[in-house]
Structure 1
């Protein structure tokens, strides 16, 4: 039986933009779709995807919001703004754009089938052949290209979040392994680097990392005293404040994108950013300027010698983990089936009433030991003994 295709949905960032353009809160949107606010927040961050009837209702609502937004834009129609001047790329985040092949227009010659004018003595110029198209990349090649492009920057960002070199590398590798397991979804995403970045941040800031023995021992701090002070100031921040500061001042995301990636509202993300800046500026007053803070974060991430594994090893490691989980699930299922079969085989086939517990009987006089006999009791005992010895009188029948 074939499964019907799922209803298409816009990307997570577009869902959030449509909701904010309609001036709706997550709670109001959740009420209209008949789900919880946490579910809407997970859908807008891309962590989960709706299914079934909820997906259809959510898609219809987003389509309505998109039509209303298009109508509002048509009515307003503001004049086009000049394009902003591109800033230099930061080492914390590689800058990428859609690939566009630019080539000069070839000199057009006479059309095919036309003949030269008589007496001109000139021959038609050959029409240049079109350039051969680049072959499509295989999933493995596309994954390797994405890994080589973004892995080094993501490792540096994870180091700013955790202050641990090994944990930063492991977080990025685990994020890419998860991306390889869900590669069809990641490959269609408009921002695959953002998808992997969000997964790596979640793993790096997980509270369960503190219970791992390998991460209990402290790592050597940076050699430069200024870098040590800045790293300590970052680690004193809360996980969400630290993540917001790295995304906005380190990576360079906009405030709505930062709020969407941290699963918070835009005002909440702004408050976290201001609090983080004040905390860092309190320890390092020279970093009160956001531009200086961005430069220092870039220098701190670039000063450490961080490395990332080869993409082939990451893919193979993810495949090994997937096989291990599959085999573990199969073994657990077989053990569960065996335990169920054993229980059914050894279970009793008829009802056996349970033995009722003992109940104390009340009202019975206590057992008394025999005491000394009185004079009357002695006489009675002697009388009975005598009569039993002689026996009763014999009755004889007589005729009258």
Structure 2
């Protein structure tokens, strides 16, 4: 049995049809529903009925004719979709990805305050810096700024956003009809920020929201990403291929959090888990094999090239994984590049074998197994210092999420590892996070 006090967090990482890159080709994948809000509403309600902590939405701001040919499109902008889902759910958290590289702090702070109000305190912001030239070229840039520069901008971006969320004190609104004073102007503050990247007067034009600010989520595991997370993040979405790697990352981050004067229990570490669930292990493995047969390797090579920032499209598939530049020279997604290189070297994989491994979850831990076996893995990672919970990434949404909800979650509940009812109303309460203080609070 699990620890009765500590419960794991479980988010549904909502992908359109599944996290396997060929999920849309699966015979009964409901491709026609991908543009319909009702499809996402149904999935969100199912996750809420299962008492999951949050819906998690990723985002990428580019595509190409070659990519759309092979099904790589993201459809809805996250905060727009989450605002719709806020109206058809009551408890489940709503985490959306927004890049600091292609936005302004004022707009982002306002959007997430709006989402927090509309959802009665369920908003979370997954903070990314983006990592591809293709995205940069949609925002007046020829190429993506270098990795360190992106994190410098992100740091100041977040500092400005936090100042804006704090620019209204909690009791600023008086709404005194007799005196005609709506808000106490002494409790609404201009922030007058002047930095390297941003100049923002403030205040925000929306009061402090139910959670005071959204839950701050971060997904980078490079050195810059880990340092950023240790200072700011309240939840970290990460990718590891083994328990050993996950535990090492967990211990590293928790120590960095302590070194920054923060409480490590106030930072939730949530690895991605990409299940294919079968009634028997043989059934699960057979389904995994069928998914692998649907992979378009030309498309997979293009995606990998974009991710690591190195053109691999002409590399031979059945030879050892090619040598890449030193990590310091990679300006794309450093942490994922390192994970991929280490995976290839550790298991002596060919390029084709690497692409197959990445096809099910882009480098996240994939598992084809029975519900009990999957529960065993989650329990082991959770109880042995590798995770505070998980982002669940079903490889085929309409099969594996349904089975996760119907079969894996009840097994975790039987073991005392996961809640049977919500004990709070906000995402902060689900994660066990405190309300942040206000830096402008009047003395």
With the length of structure 1 as denominator, give the TM-score of the two structures.
0.25
> Which structure has the bigger radius of gyration?
1
Higher relative contact order (CA 8 A, sep 6+): 2
1 or 2, which has the higher helix percentage? Answer: 1
With the length of structure 2 as denominator, give the TM-score of the two structures.
0.23
